[in-house]
Amino acid sequence: MSSERVAEILKKVQRVQLVANRAVNEMFAGQYQSVFRGRGMEFDEVREYQPGDDVRSIDWNVTARSGDCYIKQFCEERELTVLFVVDVSASGVFGSIAQAKLDLVVELTAMLMFSALKSNDKVGLLTFCNGVQEYFPPRKGKSHVLRLIRALVSVEPIAQPTLLTETLEFLNRVHKRRAVVFLLSDFLADVDLKSLRMTSRRHDLTAVTVRDRREEDWTSVGFVTLRDAETGAVLEVDTGSPAARRWFRQRSQQRDVSLTEKLGRAGVDQLVLDTAGDYQTNLRRFFRERARKAALR
């Protein structure tokens, strides 16, 4: 790798880190902790029995040894394993307004990683396209999070068909214990319901769908040549044709509806982001909705 490329990566890492840290400190750390809770309750300590305490909490072993009545106290097992499964296919380089889809994914992932870091959770990363590309097992610590961000920033998008099913099968093999999983992709490729459902049953799975509005709504600029970033297929389209624009918009909307229905049937939460939108507002809204659902359970 050239020195210019290294300098470019380091500069981008610093920018992403700055943006992500500011967002976490100002807005998201508390919401993250309230939405993503630990696996259950774990033993904390014993203390002397006081009138009104639940007699079922009495620690009979300590009581017998000390001659005084003691009860067990428990606290929430806060530590989580948070895994980011990121689509690095070449379709992610598309962006028509503010930024490319993959740039938005990197920024959002970094922000969530710093939220996890602030909560002392383990963080891991899995990148995929036509199968798993890189896997970084979950660990704690700032240096580990920065390593993951550097890995994401330095990704070279892959011009191959996206194979999500194989990726989810790998995830389920290497992670037997329940984890919080963020699956980040534009989901232009087909999604297998069975693999989604299996992963959702094993993990707390959220699908983050990243879109660009020009993928759904064309402007009239005459004849354009389109090239599929993953398959290489080339198509010439008359964007000045209302029928062509209508067909393309309907096709995109049908794909979006199909994906949302499939995720719902699999029990997967979905967060939809747009490259031109305010993703932080959408993320806050998503956190509030998750917290509301959790309170109703």
Q: Which of 132, 161, 128 is nearest to 231 (CA)?
A: 161
Q: What is the pLDDT of residue 35?
A: 64
Closest listed residue to residue 269, CA positions, set 285, 253, 255: 285
CA-CA distance, 257 to 241, in Å (whole number)? 25
Kindly state the helix (H) or strand (E) to which residue 293 belongs, with its residue range.
helix 279-296
* Single-letter amino acid code for the residue at 257: V
**Nearest of 293, 83, 120 to residue 203 by alpha carbon:** 83
Q: Hey, what domains does the chain have and what are their CATH numbers?
A: 3-36+79-296 (3.40.50.410), 40-77 (no CATH)
Model pLDDT, residue 129: 92
Q: How many other CB atoms sit within 10 Å of the CB of residue 42?
A: 12
- In this prediction the pTM is 0.76
Give pLDDT, residue 68: 85
Name the residue with tokens 């470019």.
8
Element (H, E) at 14: helix 3-23
Given this model, what pLDDT does residue 263 score? 94
Structure tokens at 248: 């393309």
| Residue 172 pLDDT | 93
- The secondary structure of residue 267, as a DSSP letter, is T
Q: Digits of tens for pLDDT over the chain (297 positions)?
A: 455 654 565 566 666 666 656 656 555 555 666 666 554 445 556 788 888 788 788 888 888 888 888 888 764 555 789 999 999 998 877 656 667 888 889 888 988 888 888 888 899 999 999 999 999 999 999 899 989 999 998 888 888 888 999 999 999 999 988 899 999 999 988 888 999 999 999 999 999 999 887 777 666 656 666 666 556 666 676 666 777 778 777 887 888 889 999 999 999 999 998 888 777 888 888 888 877 776 666
CA dist 268 and 186 (Å) reads 16
